[in-house]
Amino acid sequence: MANRLSVFSGTVLIAVLVQTGVGQTQTISYADAATLLAKECGADVKKFCKGLNLGNGRIQNCLAQHQAKVSPACTSTMVGVTASIQQRLAAQASVDKICARDAARACRGVVPGKAHILGCLLKATRIVGAKCSQAITDAGWR
């Protein structure tokens, strides 16, 4: 997935992350990411990418191809949004591991299954540590 989305280079990425205030610990939902993209890139999409569907990187590739003409706000939004979505996906993938010890302590006897364990962890605020708590927040599962 990373290679599909990372149209832009890493050096630009860091500059833009600072600029747009998308910090390392902040992840955003797909809904908010999509809203930002529509807001900052909607006009460019309609101008340069007519008839193209969002899927399979077509819009990202199209905007990258027209980068010279695409608005700077769109370019930076695309980079920031892509990075924070990657972080959220990474957080979602890592919750099980990061929270394993807390789950073993707090959720003994809970019916197995990701959703049940999550429900237990969300309630066990006294036992769940900061790292697990942050991972759940970053995953967007609060």
Q: Which residues contact other proteins by CB under 8 A?
A: 1, 4-5, 29-35, 37-38, 41-42, 45-46, 49-57, 59-60, 85, 89, 92, 114-115, 118, 140-141
User: Rg for the chain (alpha carbons), in Å?
Assistant: 18
* CB closer to other proteins, 15 vs 134: 134
CA 73 vs CA 37, 58, 83: distances in Å: 10, 19, 15
Q: Least CB distance from residue 38 to other proteins, whole Å?
A: 4
Identify the residue whose tokens are 């955003």. 28
Smaller CB distance to other proteins: residue 15 or 57? Answer: 57
Contact between 8 and 64 under an 8 Å Cβ cutoff? The reply is: yes
Q: What's the token pair of residue 83? A: 């990075």
Shortest Å, Cβ 118 to other proteins: 5
CB of 63 to other proteins, least distance (A): 12
